[in-house]
Amino acid sequence: MNRIDGHTQLLGLLGWPVEHSLSPAMHNAALAALGLNWRYVPLPVLPDRLEAAVRGLAALGFRGANVTVPHKQAVLPLLDSVAPNVRALGAANTLVIKQSEEGSASIHGANTDDQGFLAALRAGGFTPGATTHAVVLGAGGAARAVVYGLLQAGCRDIVVLNRTAAHAQALVADLRAAAGPAARLQARPLSAAALVEAARAADLLVQATTTGMRAGNDSLWPEGEPMPANLAVFDLVYTPVRTRLLQQARQSGALAIDGLWMLVQQGILALELWIGARLQREELSQLMHAACQQAREE
């Protein structure tokens, strides 16, 4: 399905910058495999042009878009409706645009990060539930989606460690309502000692800070300190895919899950929203993961 013609349907990625994003390669591979005459294009949009860009998508007949840094929060006032988790998370990563026959359009905001994280965690071999003791590193948008997802999966014991303690406290305060009275949701300042102590009492460690990204490939886990072998370690960072933290996890015999799987799973959930049908997730996830790896090597 190489031809672009009058029937081609469009999807895009609103962000700044977007030129290094893996999403176009990943989504176009999936759309081609599904035999759909749809295309997914990167759309670099400066913050002060966001409103014009979103209105433009609707006017141009786009079926939907992903939204990434720095627009995930700023896009909310521009939407006609939002999913319940968008309200709880304060951010949308997916727009679904419905065109009416009269020529108007409505834009719905969704967030597939929380369910994408959960799907990747389960596919990676860890099923979260009421007996899970989780430690989450970070208190930004990604950590919020992780904590919300874990609460939705029934987790009742989550410790959030963050460099800026006030940000962890704000996350906990904001998600307290979603946690319910039975849950123990705690915020603590991040230090190597606090991390090791919390991890010893946990069975799941989720790394949702920017630590370990391309430049330094450093780790918040202290070098030379073995990790508990019963731990599942999920690092949301996917540049590089094999972060230092995941290497440390593997060396200690712990389960290691990389962030590319979350990118893929949140992408499949977005595709399902745009297409309006449930897809063969297992098959697609392998194909989309391979497309990401290939795009990275090119």
Q: Note the residues at the interface with ligand NAP (CB under 6 A).
A: 113, 138-143, 162-164, 167, 208-211, 213, 236-238, 259, 262-263, 266
Nearer to ligand NAP, 98 or 167 (CB): 167
Residue 226: count of CB within 10 angstroms of its CB: 12
In whole angstroms, the minimum distance from the beta carbon of 245 to ligand NAP comes to: 12
Among the options 27, 72, 188, 244, which is catalytic? 72
In whole angstroms, the minimum distance from the beta carbon of 164 to ligand NAP comes to: 3
Confirm if 148 and 177 have CB atoms less than 8 A apart.
no
72 tagged catalytic: yes
Nearer to ligand NAP, 37 or 73 (CB): 73
In whole angstroms, the minimum distance from the beta carbon of 141 to ligand NAP comes to: 4
Widest CA span in the chain: 65
Packing angle, helices 260-275 and 23-33, rounded to 10: 50
Across 119-167, where does the E strand assignment appear? 133-137, 157-162
Give dist(CA 256, CA 247) in Å, integer: 8
Sign, CA torsion 185/188/190/196: negative
Burial of residue 127 (CB within 10 Å: 0-12, 13-18, 19+) is exposed
Residue number closest to ligand NAP, CB atom: 140
Give dist(CA 88, CA 145) in Å, integer: 9
In whole angstroms, the minimum distance from the beta carbon of 20 to ligand NAP comes to: 11
CA-nearest of 124, 122, 148, 153 to 136 is 148
Nearer to ligand NAP, 108 or 289 (CB): 289
Give dist(CA 68, CA 92) in Å, integer: 9
In whole angstroms, the minimum distance from the beta carbon of 4 to ligand NAP comes to: 28
Nearer to ligand NAP, 157 or 258 (CB): 258
Nearer to ligand NAP, 133 or 163 (CB): 163
CA-nearest of 18, 23, 5 to 288 is 23
Residue 168 one-letter amino acid: A
Among all residues, which ones are annotated catalytic? 72
